[in-house]
Structure 1
Amino acid sequence: MNEYNILVADDDKEIRNALDIYLTNEGMNVFLAADGAEALEILEKTDVHLIIMDIMMPKMDGIQATLKIRQDKDIPIIILSAKSEDRDVILGLNIGADDYMTKPFNFLELIARVKSNLRRYTKYENYQKNKEDDGVLSIRGLVLNKKTNEVFVNGTQVHLTPIEFKILQLLMENKNITFSIEEIYEKVWKEPFYNSENTVAVHIRRIREKIEVNPKEPMYLKVVWGVGYKIEK
């Protein structure tokens, strides 16, 4: 297996040390953190390929750390949790974690999940590199290919209608710029806007349902109340 940098963030020293041994035996470089804040410091200095993140930690917990990481990084995150933290697991997955395991866990199963997530991530990264000069728009795991009319979310293809694709393309080509409903309609439908608020709103809702983990708390397609919609970078 190729050499990868793995970050383990857990306040339990025994778990950190055990994972250090298991991952090192798999030919991986391991970086250890006792809390979320320390994990973020390591990320600033090191090119990490995957993170194993405990939820309950001092200073900064795994949920807060995951939120900060997902602001600009797409690397895989596996959450570790106690059974009593099921709600936190769901929240973690909604904000961008890729997988989770419940404590106590089988170390060999966790290593297998690490390898599986690394394979998916490597495949996704290679796809991005091969397409980056070929009409591809990419924002934090959301990838739109203008030439093939394909859309991927974290490596998984989602299927949009032609109108949905055009709306998403417009917003991704103009990151952080808010478009009114009228502007979206006239740019996508290529005709004057006339009482078409519901038409645009329905398409926006469908796009969210397809690209967002939790459409009620979107990561990508945001509403600017009283103004319109935008894709956040």
Structure 2
Amino acid sequence: MSKILIIEDDPEIAMLEKDYLEINGFETEIVSDGKTALNVLLASHFDLVLLDLMLPGKSGYDICREIRDKIDIPILMVTARTESVDKIRGLGLGADDYIAKPFDPAELVARVKAHLRRYERLTGSGRRGNKDDTIIISGLRISPQSRKVYKGDTEIKFPNREFELLLFLAENPNIVFSKEHLFEKIWGFDYIGDSATVTVHINRIREKIEDDPSKPQIIETVWGAGYRLNN
């Protein structure tokens, strides 16, 4: 049974999420303030986080950043703030998805299930077999089996989708892929979102691997077409 951590200070919304998730077979736990959220998450095993942005003690943005620094887990932001800049900021900090209040509980459950399925596919054992064909490209060493990336002798940490996106481009160098193609390949048809998510993740990858992210040399933008990893 998958376990969901609900980080939400509105008791009515928290109980609505809890009730619908438990009806659908999930185990849940509720945290109502930002200060204790990370400690609770690290003290027990959870499979996904539902994270409100506006929390007492600490903002959802700060919590999202802290979670990403400590653990790789799907994060679904649930918030009344619907401006594009808020969505982009949340995704840029490592959130996997964004749903606005008020929401349809059935849609929330559907998104939770979609993210858990996708996460299981990304981390499933034996997905690439036992052979670890390390890819060396543009000064990077990418290990598919151990899911590690090195720039020189320094290991760079990547959440699952960033790693999958980088790996896919590295396995197909010098080929231009549209945002739509990358979105379908990495996130899948059952993911509820849009191709703008690709841009956010590309920018996050560039910040980690490029010498100058403002002038990327490894992952190039081909205007009007998409992205290409140069070998």
Are the structure 2 counterparts of residues 14 and 71 from structure 1 closer, same or farther at C-alpha, using a change threshold of 3 Å?
same
Equivalent position to 2:203, from 204, 215, 228: 215
Are the structure 2 counterparts of residues 216 and 47 from structure 1 closer, same or farther at C-alpha, using a change threshold of 3 Å?
closer
For 2:169, the aligned partner's letter is: V
Question: 2:147 corresponds to which residue?
Answer: 138
Question: 1:51 corresponds to which residue?
Answer: 49
Q: How is 1:102-181 mapped onto 2 (pairs within 5 angstroms)?
A: 102-127=100-125, 130-131=127-128, 133-135=130-132, 136-139=145-148, 140-141=158-159, 152-153=164-165, 157-158=168-169
User: In 2, distance between residues paired with 1:74 and 1:216?
Assistant: 15
Instruction: After TM superposition, give the deviation of residue 4 of structure 1 in Å.
Output: 0.2
User: In 1, distance between residues paired with 2:161 and 2:61?
Assistant: 25
Instruction: After TM superposition, give the deviation of residue 60 of structure 1 in Å.
Output: 1.1
Structure 1 segments of 4+ aligned residues over 6 angstroms from their partners: none
Question: 2:10 corresponds to which residue?
Answer: 12
Question: 1:89 corresponds to which residue?
Answer: 87
User: In 1, distance between residues paired with 2:115 and 2:102?
Assistant: 20
User: In 2, distance between residues paired with 1:163 and 1:18?
Assistant: 48
Q: How is 1:18-97 mapped onto 2 (pairs within 5 angstroms)?
A: 18-97=16-95
SS in 2 for 1:44: helix
SS in 2 for 1:8: strand
User: In 2, distance between residues paired with 1:61 and 1:28?
Assistant: 26
Provide the identity percentage: 29
User: In 1, distance between residues paired with 2:161 and 2:131?
Assistant: 12
Are the structure 2 counterparts of residues 91 and 211 from structure 1 closer, same or farther at C-alpha, using a change threshold of 3 Å?
closer
Deviations, residues 136-195 of structure 1 (Å, cap 9, x unaligned)? 241433589xxxxxx7239x843555589xxxxxxxxxxxxxxxxxxxxxxxxxxxxxxx
In angstroms, what is the RMSD of aligned CA positions? 3.3
User: In 1, distance between residues paired with 2:26 and 2:86?
Assistant: 28
Which is worse superposed, 76-85 or 62-71?
Answer: 76-85
User: In 2, distance between residues paired with 1:42 and 1:63?
Assistant: 17
Are the structure 2 counterparts of residues 95 and 83 from structure 1 closer, same or farther at C-alpha, using a change threshold of 3 Å?
closer
Tell me the TM-score normalised to structure 2 length. Answer: 0.63
Instruction: After TM superposition, give the deviation of residue 108 of structure 1 in Å.
Output: 0.8
User: In 2, distance between residues paired with 1:68 and 1:132?
Assistant: 32
Structure 2 segments unaligned to the other structure (5+ residues): 133-144, 149-157, 176-197, 214-231
User: In 1, distance between residues paired with 2:130 and 2:70?
Assistant: 21
Structure 1 segments unaligned to the other structure (5+ residues): 145-150, 165-209, 226-233
Instruction: After TM superposition, give the deviation of residue 132 of structure 1 in Å.
Output: 8.1
Instruction: After TM superposition, give the deviation of residue 37 of structure 1 in Å.
Output: 2.5
Structure of larger gyration radius: 1
Question: 1:202 corresponds to which residue?
Answer: none
Are the structure 2 counterparts of residues 214 and 107 from structure 1 closer, same or farther at C-alpha, using a change threshold of 3 Å?
same
